[in-house]
Structure 1
């Protein structure tokens, strides 16, 4: 997990979960046997080389039987690829499965042998975002602010990307081409969106890049009625006065919240109780990643407990492949796809609103794919 570097904040939930569950996971019930269980961790340092070294150390120094990770889009594949090469079962989460699978060179006919992932798809993001665009009106012209990195390439995939779902619903996507992160300017994108008459923007930008785009769009007279943004904008924001996104209507995807009606398979903790304890223990607001981070250890413990031989890594990998488990992040089923080695979490829609002290809060605004979670606000769009 990242404990230093640019992704360090994303490591907070897994670090908390590790500390919380370590006293509960000291032994493993396997049939009539009670086997000792130990949790160990290494810092990926928020980069691919650090992640590969971390995996090597866990294998060499700790003799691990399984690895779990929540690292970022460039770093997580390095963890998974290292595990694939070394023959170590690995479970990961927190970004679209297409980026995980296609970006690492696999396909349904050539699945991974050791690595497993649960999250959602780019098609799921497109469906949730399109539903929110349609609150503005049908058949929107949508500007695509996508980078030239793994996120942008995945979003642009002609078959498995974002566009097929959005265009099938009648929306027109305007993609001026990718930009390099961190961005230095968005004049080309702003001009192209104005020419096309785009009144909705969709993105997977960092907060800093989206703030830069917002400022330059405002100066040029472009006033989007709604911005939908995934990736970093799923996480708690700083004050709008400091993050540069004041007076911006930003909607995002929601994959976990304290209102989700799920419980831990380890200790029956509810999503609400987990979020409350995280805030009490850390002094920080809950993050969406908290639920999936907790589920990582639930899945790993379940696989070890149900493997024919928990000391045989191949048996553990096979147990992961047949896992069907109710977790605090939701029910996970690795037996039914959408592609081998992948299980899905449902997405709903959320929007950042001013909270106490003007601190942004994430309101739930759509629930089509998870009706058990009731929205607590109406989506707000510009005129």
Structure 2
């Protein structure tokens, strides 16, 4: 039995009740690339409410899914015999699909969920490589979709979104590049440097958004008085960053920033040591989120800095089980014997929002009714308030962001918030220190 089938077996909970339409399109269950295929709806009833969940359980983005089993166990425990909508109890099945950190595969499994599993709503997490192809398939097939764990610009503009129009079926909650910039500047301004920054951005949706000369980091950094040395877009999974490192050394860069996947940063940082490049600050998005990555770097991980989406000092509680952020991180550590990770909060909140939508929809057999429940969401979650209609574009609502630094202590590394200027309600735990 495959891992997906095992996960599917664990997801069936409760009693039998009617739900929704079925889809007639047997030939489109599998595709070889993320081309958009349209399913043909037909009115029917199913026995359960089905939630599709696409996540990178394998591949270079697997760190985002490290806590999935823990989160799904908590969510399924809360669901119990099902959820209640308009006085009727419905069983819920969560169907998990591995994107393998590959956009083509993400599109494939999204179509499997839509055409084969006939989900009522589809969800996805972890960077535009997963969120975007899933959302594109949902939009084309008119299936309600909620995503998170991806800055809103790569999600929206990476799908060719038009701010004047937006999308019809796909909704997203997370922070944006403007929040990253504010958090990073909040850290860097507290330390004396020459304000020369080496920018390292991959040729992917995230990297192109972060390095965009109009909407990304370059214009904001220039406005703040920093000089960015942008060496262009590198190919993901590169094994040689000599050209970038040489350019940073020649320009005298004392700060390095950008967005990288963990394997790329490990290669880059090792080569920085080999080539004698020693910046004061290294602040990298995505790669430095995970304790496993920092631990693998040993002493070279001490002092690296990153955006901080979520952690045990954030002042929020779950709408599903009432846990505070501290209680949730403690529960994860106790259950897994591993350090907590930032995606825990957002993946948990994705199910908070999705279940809240299904409880409020007026007609669970009508996808448009589920969609209407998404757009009217107003929920306090473990990552803070989620409410569409107040965001930068129609399909996006934003969450809060701070930044901080990995600090090595007697019991390993701790992620310490060093600036909360973008979100003063989240407490600071220390002050940024230069790299040794």
Same topology, TM > 0.5: yes
The corresponding residue for 2:58 is 4
**1:339 Cα offset (Å):** 0.8
User: Is residue 2:320 matched to residue 1:260?
Assistant: no
User: Is residue 2:131 matched to residue 1:76?
Assistant: yes
**1:247 Cα offset (Å):** 6.2
**1:139 Cα offset (Å):** 6.7
**1:119 Cα offset (Å):** 0.9
Alignment of 1:339-354 (within 5 A): 339-354=393-408
Q: Kindly provide the CA deviation profile for residues 289-328 of structure 1, in whole angstroms up to 9, marking residues without a partner as x.
A: 0001011011111111222212211111122122121001
Q: Aligned pair in 2 of structure 1 residues 169, 238: CA closer, same or farther (>3 Å)?
A: closer
Q: Which runs of 5+ in 2 are unaligned?
A: 1-54
Number of residue pairs matched by the alignment:
381
User: Is residue 2:351 matched to residue 1:326?
Assistant: no
Q: Aligned pair in 2 of structure 1 residues 15, 116: CA closer, same or farther (>3 Å)?
A: farther
Q: Aligned pair in 2 of structure 1 residues 56, 367: CA closer, same or farther (>3 Å)?
A: same
User: Is residue 2:256 matched to residue 1:205?
Assistant: no
Between 10-19 and 170-179, the greater mean CA deviation after superposition: 10-19
**Over aligned residue pairs, what C-alpha RMSD do you find?**
2.1
Q: Aligned pair in 2 of structure 1 residues 186, 39: CA closer, same or farther (>3 Å)?
A: closer
1:323 match: secondary structure = coil
Q: Of 227, 245, 252, which aligns to 2:282?
A: 227
**1:215 Cα offset (Å):** 3.6
The answer to whether the 8 A contact 1:238-1:360 is kept is no
Q: Which runs of 5+ in 1 are unaligned?
A: none
User: Is residue 2:47 matched to residue 1:15?
Assistant: no
User: Is residue 2:429 matched to residue 1:376?
Assistant: yes
The corresponding residue for 2:91 is 36
Alignment of 1:122-137 (within 5 A): 122-137=177-192
CA distance in 2, matches of 1:37, 1:208: 37
Q: Of 405, 409, 419, which aligns to 1:366?
A: 419
User: Is residue 2:327 matched to residue 1:273?
Assistant: yes
Q: Kindly provide the CA deviation profile for residues 73-92 of structure 1, in whole angstroms up to 9, marking residues without a partner as x.
A: 32321111111122111111
**1:3 Cα offset (Å):** 2.6
CA distance in 2, matches of 1:30, 1:234: 37
2:198 match: secondary structure = strand
The corresponding residue for 2:52 is none
Q: Of 142, 145, 149, which aligns to 1:90?
A: 145
Alignment of 1:58-207 (within 5 A): 58-137=113-192, 140-207=195-262
Between 146-155 and 40-49, the greater mean CA deviation after superposition: 40-49
User: Is residue 2:338 matched to residue 1:297?
Assistant: no
CA distance in 1, matches of 2:213, 2:224: 16
Q: Aligned pair in 2 of structure 1 residues 149, 10: CA closer, same or farther (>3 Å)?
A: same
CA distance in 2, matches of 1:198, 1:12: 34
The answer to whether the 8 A contact 1:237-1:360 is kept is no
CA distance in 1, matches of 2:246, 2:101: 35
CA distance in 1, matches of 2:306, 2:382: 21
**1:31 Cα offset (Å):** 3.3
Q: Aligned pair in 2 of structure 1 residues 139, 321: CA closer, same or farther (>3 Å)?
A: farther
CA distance in 1, matches of 2:280, 2:92: 52
1:67 match: secondary structure = strand
Q: Aligned pair in 2 of structure 1 residues 279, 219: CA closer, same or farther (>3 Å)?
A: closer
CA distance in 1, matches of 2:137, 2:263: 31
CA distance in 2, matches of 1:317, 1:287: 31
CA distance in 2, matches of 1:227, 1:239: 13
Q: Aligned pair in 2 of structure 1 residues 77, 123: CA closer, same or farther (>3 Å)?
A: same
TM-score by length of 2: 0.82
Q: Kindly provide the CA deviation profile for residues 327-380 of structure 1, in whole angstroms up to 9, marking residues without a partner as x.
A: 0111112111111111111111110111335x3221111112222222122111
Between 126-135 and 138-147, the greater mean CA deviation after superposition: 138-147
Q: Kindly provide the CA deviation profile for residues 29-83 of structure 1, in whole angstroms up to 9, marking residues without a partner as x.
A: 3233333333222222332232223222323343211111113432321111111
The corresponding residue for 2:300 is 246
The corresponding residue for 2:102 is 47
Q: Aligned pair in 2 of structure 1 residues 28, 382: CA closer, same or farther (>3 Å)?
A: closer
**1:238 Cα offset (Å):** 4.4
